[in-house]
Amino acid sequence: MATIEDTIAAIATPPGRGGIAIIRVSGSKALDVAKTLTGITPKPRQVYFKQFKLNNEVLDEGVVIYFASPNSYTGEDIVEFQGHGGYISPKRVLNGILSIEGVRQAQPGEFTRRAFLNNKMDLAAAEAVEDLISAGSESAAKAALSSLEGNFSKNVNELTDKITNFRVRIEACLDFPEEHEDFYESGKTDKELDDIEALASKTIRIANQGVKLNEGAKIVLAGSPNAGKSSLLNALAGADKAIVTNIPGTTRDVLTAQVEIEGVPVTITDTAGIRDKPSDEIEAIGIQKAIDELKKADLVLFMIDGSKPPVDVMETYTKVKEFESNTNRIMVIVSKADKDLCSDVKELLCSEPFKELKQVRTSTKTESGLDELKKVLVEALGIMPIEGVFIARRRHIAALEKAYEYIVKAKEIVATGDLVLCAQEIRQAQDYLGEITGTVTSDDILGKIFSTFCIGK
């Protein structure tokens, strides 16, 4: 059974052709592995060029570096063998290392998990390692690096400290009421809780932006066939991703384009035009896929051709509304703004439900309205300036929101004078914040988090 006392090894670089591959070994036997493969006992943080040999067979040659505990990534003894890249040489070295008694293959994320368990970083920073590796944009990489440097944890710890101090005051008041008669005086308690609530709200707001950077946002183009969805996708993507014709129902499958809007990676999905009577089975499949995408959308751009009388627009909108009931996440895009606006469309836009929705006129032919559309998308997606943003995950948001709920409950309860119940609510908030940094966690949560990492990290 695998334990943290085991010495572990893995290839830390991506597979395939490359100049260098790194094989990382961590644990109490790391130095023995170095001596077995190189014939020397390396000194910490010195570079040695050696052949990597096992049973008199040369596996590769390259650089070996020893990082002594606790001054290493994992906090344990680490040895790195830096040899030739490619598919074969790194595996030969790794297999040689794994043949040594007491050394096993590292599990996904196990090096970083050990770094967390050895207090080299907290859980939020550990997750940021994986987020930095998988960042889909420069802004996401910067935000992940910010979390790795501890900025997310600083926000959480500041909030935790304020909550802890307030809890200490409550419990002191419960234990020694005669010495804390001023607990309710001068509105100090209310202000303290107001400050805690405001800080929690601010942290949630910034963390939500971090989630957008981490996961990206999803925009779905929907509407009747031939409303201009494919043309808008191509215009926003800056490339011909979709076939554009005058034939309704041309898009039979889901097409996607990856763009950046104010640093946030955004997936724009062009779907089949939705109508009740598809022309054939293939179009019907495309419509079902469109419905599936609508269910996952952060924002729906409902397209209307502004140049000709609307056909089945209300029916199509009603169908879209079945799967996206939040009208705050639906925006109307009136296409073909280079042509006169059809009077019937104008009347439609001034009627329910469209008059209540944000409307933007665009022309992919002249590019008019596209800049305005991008500004509106920034607002609709809640995209904030990138400065000060740290990377975050949905589990962080869930924990922060639960903590916020308990803070609000504590505010309501403290007014009743029930300090025992108030202290319990504050403790719950404190525990949820602890789940983010790892001061309160379980092996199941750790296993789930680190299982998404690559093996060499």
Q: Residue 329's pLDDT is what?
A: 86
> How many CA atoms does the CB half-sphere of 69 hold within 13 Å?
15
Q: Residue 60's pLDDT is what?
A: 96
Instruction: Give the whole-angstrom CA distance, residue 90 versus residue 18.
Output: 11
Q: Residue 234's pLDDT is what?
A: 86
DSSP assignment letter at 355 = G
In CATH, which superfamily holds the domain spanning 7-121?
Answer: Probable tRNA modification gtpase trme; domain 1 (3.30.1360.120)
Q: Residue 38's pLDDT is what?
A: 96
Q: Is the pLDDT of residue 243 over 50?
A: no
Annotated binding site for GTP, which residues? 226-231, 245-251, 270-273
Compute the average pLDDT of residues 331-342. Answer: 89
- The band of 106, judged by pLDDT with boundaries at 50, 70 and 90, is very high
Annotated binding site, which residues? 24, 80, 120, 226-231, 245-251, 270-273, 457
Q: Is the pLDDT of residue 262 over 80?
A: no
Q: How many residues belong to the chain?
A: 457
Q: Residue 292's pLDDT is what?
A: 78
Least trusted range by pLDDT, from 52-61, 114-123, 220-229, 358-367: 220-229
pTM for the whole thing? 0.75
Annotated binding site for K(+), which residues? 226, 245, 247, 250
Q: Residue 185's pLDDT is what?
A: 60
**Strand ranges, E, within 262-393:** 264-270, 299-305, 330-335, 358-361
Tokens of 448: 């789930």
Domains 7-121 and 129-211+393-437 share a fold: no
- How do the domains of the chain map onto residue ranges? 7-121, 129-211+393-437, 217-381
- The band of 27, judged by pLDDT with boundaries at 50, 70 and 90, is very high
What mean pLDDT is reported for the chain?
86
Annotated binding site for (6S)-5-formyl-5,6,7,8-tetrahydrofolate, which residues? 24, 80, 120, 457
Least trusted range by pLDDT, from 43-47, 145-149, 423-427, 443-447: 443-447
- The band of 272, judged by pLDDT with boundaries at 50, 70 and 90, is low
- Sign of the CA dihedral with 438 first, then 442, 448, and 452 last: positive
pLDDT (tens digit per residue) in 143-152: 899 999 999 9
Q: Residue 278's pLDDT is what?
A: 58
Q: Is the pLDDT of residue 30 over 90?
A: yes
pLDDT (tens digit per residue) in 172-207: 877 776 655 566 565 677 788 999 999 999 999 999
As beta bridge partners, residue 130 has none
Helix axes 151-175, 138-148, angle to 10 degrees: 40
Q: Residue 42's pLDDT is what?
A: 96
Instruction: Give the whole-angstrom CA distance, residue 126 versus residue 16.
Output: 26
Assigned fold of 217-381: Rossmann fold (3.40.50)
CATH architecture of 129-211+393-437: Up-down Bundle (1.20)
DSSP string, 221-269: EEESTTSSHHHHHHHHHTS--S---SSTT---S-EEEEEEETTEEEEEE
pLDDT (tens digit per residue) in 302-324: 988 888 888 788 888 887 787 76
DSSP assignment letter at 327 = G
Whether residue 70 is preceded by a cis peptide bond, meaning omega within 30 degrees of 0, is yes
Q: Residue 120's pLDDT is what?
A: 94
Annotated binding site for Mg(2+), which residues? 230, 251
Q: Residue holding tokens 């293959």?
A: 105
Q: Residue 244's pLDDT is what?
A: 43
Q: Residue 242's pLDDT is what?
A: 45
CA dihedral defined by 57, 59, 60, 64, rounded to 10 degrees? Answer: -100
Q: Residue 250's pLDDT is what?
A: 46
Which candidate, 219, 267, 259, places its Cα nearest to that of 239? 259
- The band of 274, judged by pLDDT with boundaries at 50, 70 and 90, is low
